[in-house]
Structure 1
Amino acid sequence: MKRRDFVGLTSLAAGALFLPSIPGFGMGNAVDPAQLLEQVDPAIKKRMADAALNAAKSAGASYADVRIGRYLNQGIFTREKQVQNIASTESYGIGVRVIANGTWGFAATNDVSEAGAAKAAQTAVGIAKANSKVQKEQVQLAPQKGFGEVSWKTPIVQNAFEVPIAQKVALLLAANAKALDNGASFVNSALFQVNEQKYFASTDGSYIDQDVHRIYPTFGVTVVDRASGKFRSRQALSSPMGLGYEYLTPKAADKVAGPAGSDVTGYKMSYDILEDAAAAAKQAKAKITAKSVVPGKYDLVLDPHHLGLTIHESVGHPLELDRVLGYEANYAGTSFATLDKWKSGKFQYGSKEVNIVADKLQPGSLGAVGYDDEGVKTKEWDLIKQGILVNYEKIRDQAQMVGQNESDGCCYSQSWQDVQFQRMPNVSLRPGQGKLSVDELVKGVDKGIYIAGNGSFSIDQQRYNFQFGGQVFYAIEKGKITGMLEDVAYQANTQEFWNSCAATCDASDYRFAGFFNDGKGQPAQSSAVSHGSATTRFNGVNVINTARKIG
């Protein structure tokens, strides 16, 4: 099977429509859950990798890398008091990328053997040589030292695949029960688990074995008012994380309260799905009678679980160097953040409060790995410093295009059968340096709105003009939360919005938002990425009423 959206494989049918956002789940062949715990000896993978590298060099490649990938996925789906579907799958194969005659070539195979690896390498070289006939400029790779034989593993406490399915089902059904007990009319929940067992080898001299784990609990709650016929929904305020099952063992220290009066609770490195499901039902019910927002200019106080999506779309994507250079235009276009703005050293992307970093390091984040998919050791680097655009996100064959001599380590492929290319790393807003709580941040707002959770959004082909909604909205009047609002969305352009950033809370409020299914490329690929931030205030942002007719 080819990697497809997880829902396409399962028989979730209409029940899936109530789920908030099904991840683009790369799947393979269905397997017994016990097989998800198996490992492949690195020595076997090294022999296959050497067979591919030797075959590539013999066929005329000046460079080659090999990725041997075993991708394991499990999804559990429930609705109200019943299980709808459980699926466990495995995808296993080899991808070989080469440079021959100064041109890239790629081939993949599910024949996981030394002979299969060698044949794929020979095919990749043949493709590169054919491509070279129309290549105008030769590929130039940033230098990269070999690391020899090394390994890296997501620092998990408990492998989610080791937890009995019955225990995971029981937790989801308990969350459903909490929602129903607190007024929900309908509730769906799901738990996604991913394990990427990736082996990378290259002619630079690296043999890198990595074991990457991710987890995502989620649900959708709907409350129907039978008398009026109105209904409202609220999605989970969870975030997918680069953690094991310990993420679903809530710790009191991980709770972060929203502003007083908002009835919103955030979570750091663990998540209380039972508490969130109960709160979701209450909030969905309250939304039915909530006051509809009056359009106008407001100061916005944005919770990290909401702000992550805005960072993703208005900073993460436009600073991908392939978009900036015009080589990538899928999934909402190229970028307004062109090279002339960066070269000036003066482009005010945001206010002086805006310090945004990229990284593939933060523990618990979805993007955390030891090495990327072309053997580059990962790191952290500045993108925006005190509001000024200072750098982009790039990989080995892009560095020389902007006069730099090293990759940022953000090359990734969704599977062994897809070629790796530049993907967004974790992109995060640094918390404020001075001590500042959420309540103190709200006290400085005379007329504003507090927003938590992700809603619908729209952004133009240059990642510039945008509109964002959310899950729950609360009015702020004279420094206090005064009640729930509905029908809220805000509009701005990227530079205007980030220059309206007035203050961000301190590190005690810092949390991750994340996405399992960030789409890019053609053919499309999906990757997972996190965005860290603390609650942040933006002054004088235009708010519209999404329920009102125009004209």
Structure 2
Amino acid sequence: MKRRDFVGLTGLASGALLLPSIPGFGNGVEVDPLRLLETVDPAVKKRLADAALNAAKSAGATYTDVRIGRYLNQGVFTREKQVQGISSTESYGAGVRVIADGTWGFAATNIVTEAGLAKAAQLAVQIAKANAKVQKAQVQLAPQKGYGEVSWKAPIQQNAFEVPIKDKVDLLLAVNAKALEQGASFVNSVLFQVNEQKYFASTDGSYIDQDIHRIYPTFGVTAIDRASGKFRSRQALSSPMGMGYEYLTPKAADKVAGPTGSDVVGYKNSYDMLEDVVSATKQVKQKLTAKSVVPGKYDLVLDPHHLGLTIHESVGHPTELDRVLGYEANYAGTSFATLEWKAKNIPYGSKLVNIVADKLQPNSLGAVGYDDEGVKTKEWNLITEGKLVDYQKIRDQAHIVGQKESDGCCYSQSWQDVQFQRMPNVSLKPGTTKLSVDEMVSKVDKGIYIAGNGSFSIDQQRYNFQFGGQVFYAIEKGKITGMIEDVAYQANTQEFWNSCAAICDQSDYRLFGAFNDGKGQPGQSSAVSHGSATTRFNGVNVINTARKIG
């Protein structure tokens, strides 16, 4: 979503500058919140899908799939003591994708009738036949069995759209009040909810009805030193999750403490927004007087909420097969991890590095039963003991690497966009030996503990990068000695992952989430999680990001 559209939609003005990253709301139409509780009968969707499948076949398609989607979004936005905006949107329509004359064609419609879908199917076939005149090689689809009529629902406990807006507003204003009580100068808080009701049908014989939910509570806190004009901020350490409103019912068992002396708390499958905002306000005040980091080589102890973004950029994107093949070169870059590079068996990381891709992990943003090509989802290895062993693939890519099945990671952000290869959950496996964060820190002579994700930069091949964070603590002779500031680390993907020296065990494992990962041209947004435990990287180059004035 363009910024001007977002500001217009929510009524935000200057306060929007303090908001964290905003996920796209698609092209939804503003509706009464009560309408978001409506559903569409799967029998109706099947009848509509059959109209498209039959029309495409009659027009000459050899393969057809239909996606009927109802996409619901709600956002509640507050700042200090006031509500800035409430948005409830609905987008409903269908997309039809076909193969005719060995070539893809796609068309979409918001006229959700049998006649409307049949017309879209006929148009998709016409587009495919036109494309066939210039396409050099025919589409090769990996085989896929049909599943008949099946359904999958996210295992949520409380539908966030059923919770009264007043309750959501009360929570966010309570969060803001806590921050102001603790001495924050400014605070904003936001709650996003998404529900994708997706129906997929294909000539393979699948009719798949899915109900997917995501939630993202977040805030930003700022403290100002009025005398000097210096200010510091900290964003929430929440993670967007594939859950319902139960995520906002904190449970003690879901809390994970950072190292002693850091005042950092991590969260697993529930989130204490009030507790986090108190910690955030305390930390931003500490940032105002924290010492600036001395550049040099440090051992880094990275919290999962920080490491997730590094995994996303330096492992998730470079192992997308379409990027490896150069399909993204015009927009979002390529990948250093080419097929030729992989064939040389060059170490991606140390032997401790085991990274899996999956679309199954409970409560993750990427969890679904079937992808947008009707492929049943799974888990598979990307990196095993430091070696790249596989990529992320969809049906028309599998043959390129000599494989016979899709990985089930095809996705479209809406009914009106064509589906294509998108990142599944990509996660670093926890260590197999019991290891706490304090034990990890105790073995560091000169290091920095980093929590939360901040600014980042990475080149077009996903190789050379720089990452910041939210809070930084100095480690000296095995102990946290205090907060520091102006920290960013620089490395290339290979040297960074080869410096991985220790990983905490399963008890510390948590999910980080990317709610609005962009890719493609025209661009699309998707949501994906990245799991890890706290991890140590030895001898990483740290720079000082403070600007010198005068």
What TM-score comes out, normalization by structure 1 length? 0.98
Per-residue deviation, residues 186-234 of structure 1 (Å, max 9, x unmatched): 0000000000000000000000000000000000000011112111000
CA distance in 2, matches of 1:39, 1:7: 29
Could you say what secondary structure the match of 1:522 adopts? Answer: coil
Could you say what secondary structure the match of 1:353 adopts? Answer: coil
Residue 146 of structure 2 corresponds to which residue in structure 1? 146
Give the Å deviation of 1:343.
2.5
CA distance in 2, matches of 1:370, 1:65: 17
CA distance in 2, matches of 1:32, 1:94: 22
Per-residue deviation, residues 500-545 of structure 1 (Å, max 9, x unmatched): 0001000000000001100001100000000000000000000000
Residues 176, 187 of structure 1: 8 Å contact kept: yes
Give the Å deviation of 1:327.
1.0
Partner letter of residue 283 of structure 1?
Q
Per-residue deviation, residues 470-526 of structure 1 (Å, max 9, x unmatched): 000000000000000000000000000000000100000000000110000110000
Residues 354, 498 of structure 1: 8 Å contact kept: yes
Counterparts in 2 of 1:396-435, with a 5 A limit? 396-435=395-434
Query: Percent identity between the aligned chains?
Result: 85
Residues 317, 462 of structure 2: 8 Å contact kept: yes
Residues 332, 520 of structure 2: 8 Å contact kept: no
Are 1:278 and 2:278 counterparts? yes
CA distance in 2, matches of 1:288, 1:270: 30
Counterparts in 2 of 1:109-258, with a 5 A limit? 109-258=109-258
Residues 234, 470 of structure 2: 8 Å contact kept: yes
Give the Å deviation of 1:9.
2.5
Partner letter of residue 204 of structure 1?
D
Counterparts in 2 of 1:54-73, with a 5 A limit? 54-73=54-73
Residues 254, 270 of structure 1: 8 Å contact kept: yes
Could you say what secondary structure the match of 1:317 adopts? Answer: helix
Give the Å deviation of 1:548.
4.7
Residue 380 of structure 1 corresponds to which residue in structure 2? 379
Residue 266 of structure 2 corresponds to which residue in structure 1? 266
Could you say what secondary structure the match of 1:86 adopts? Answer: strand
Per-residue deviation, residues 33-65 of structure 1 (Å, max 9, x unmatched): 000000000000000000000000000000000
CA distance in 2, matches of 1:4, 1:434: 50
Give the Å deviation of 1:342.
2.0
Residues 75, 193 of structure 1: 8 Å contact kept: yes
Residue 487 of structure 1 corresponds to which residue in structure 2? 486
Task: Tell me the C-alpha RMSD between the 2 structures.
Answer: 1.5
Could you say what secondary structure the match of 1:547 adopts? Answer: coil
Give the Å deviation of 1:21.
1.4
Residues 330, 520 of structure 1: 8 Å contact kept: no
Give the Å deviation of 1:26.
2.0
CA change 1:144–1:205 in 2 (3 A) is: same
Residues 332, 463 of structure 1: 8 Å contact kept: no
14-23 or 446-455, which moves further after superposition? 14-23
What TM-score comes out, normalization by structure 2 length? 0.98
Residue 103 of structure 1 corresponds to which residue in structure 2? 103
Residue 389 of structure 1 corresponds to which residue in structure 2? 388
CA distance in 2, matches of 1:255, 1:515: 20
CA distance in 2, matches of 1:483, 1:203: 62
Are 1:347 and 2:346 counterparts? yes
Residues 5, 25 of structure 1: 8 Å contact kept: no
Residues 31, 90 of structure 1: 8 Å contact kept: yes
CA change 1:330–1:372 in 2 (3 A) is: farther
CA distance in 1, matches of 2:330, 2:266: 33
Residue 545 of structure 2 corresponds to which residue in structure 1? 546
Identify unmatched segments of 5+ residues in structure 2. none
Could you say what secondary structure the match of 2:194 adopts? Answer: strand
Per-residue deviation, residues 46-94 of structure 1 (Å, max 9, x unmatched): 0000000000000000000000000000000000011010010000000
Partner letter of residue 449 of structure 1?
I
CA distance in 2, matches of 1:523, 1:332: 11
Residue 518 of structure 1 corresponds to which residue in structure 2? 517
Residues 221, 235 of structure 1: 8 Å contact kept: yes
CA change 1:72–1:2 in 2 (3 A) is: farther
246-255 or 222-231, which moves further after superposition? 222-231
Residues 432, 507 of structure 1: 8 Å contact kept: yes
Per-residue deviation, residues 441-484 of structure 1 (Å, max 9, x unmatched): 10110000000001100000100000000000000000000000
Give the Å deviation of 1:7.
4.6
CA distance in 1, matches of 2:518, 2:53: 30
Partner letter of residue 371 of structure 2?
D
CA change 1:318–1:8 in 2 (3 A) is: farther
Partner letter of residue 348 of structure 1?
P
Could you say what secondary structure the match of 1:418 adopts? Answer: coil
104-113 or 221-230, which moves further after superposition? 221-230
Per-residue deviation, residues 418-447 of structure 1 (Å, max 9, x unmatched): 000000000000000000000001011000
CA distance in 2, matches of 1:194, 1:230: 37
CA change 1:285–1:331 in 2 (3 A) is: farther
Residues 431, 504 of structure 1: 8 Å contact kept: yes
Residue 87 of structure 1 corresponds to which residue in structure 2? 87
Residue 321 of structure 2 corresponds to which residue in structure 1? 321
Give the Å deviation of 1:347.
1.9
Residues 412, 524 of structure 2: 8 Å contact kept: yes
Are 1:371 and 2:374 counterparts? no
After the TM superposition, which parts of structure 1 deviate over 3 Å for at least 4 consecutive aligned residues?
A: 1-8, 548-551
CA distance in 2, matches of 1:328, 1:229: 43
Could you say what secondary structure the match of 1:277 adopts? Answer: helix
Could you say what secondary structure the match of 1:318 adopts? Answer: helix
Equivalent pairs, count: 550
CA distance in 2, matches of 1:12, 1:91: 22
Partner letter of residue 521 of structure 1?
G
Per-residue deviation, residues 285-321 of structure 1 (Å, max 9, x unmatched): 1001000000000000000000000000000000000
Residues 500, 538 of structure 2: 8 Å contact kept: yes
Per-residue deviation, residues 263-306 of structure 1 (Å, max 9, x unmatched): 00000000000000111111001001000000000000000000
Could you say what secondary structure the match of 1:532 adopts? Answer: strand
Identify unmatched segments of 5+ residues in structure 1. none
Residue 299 of structure 1 corresponds to which residue in structure 2? 299
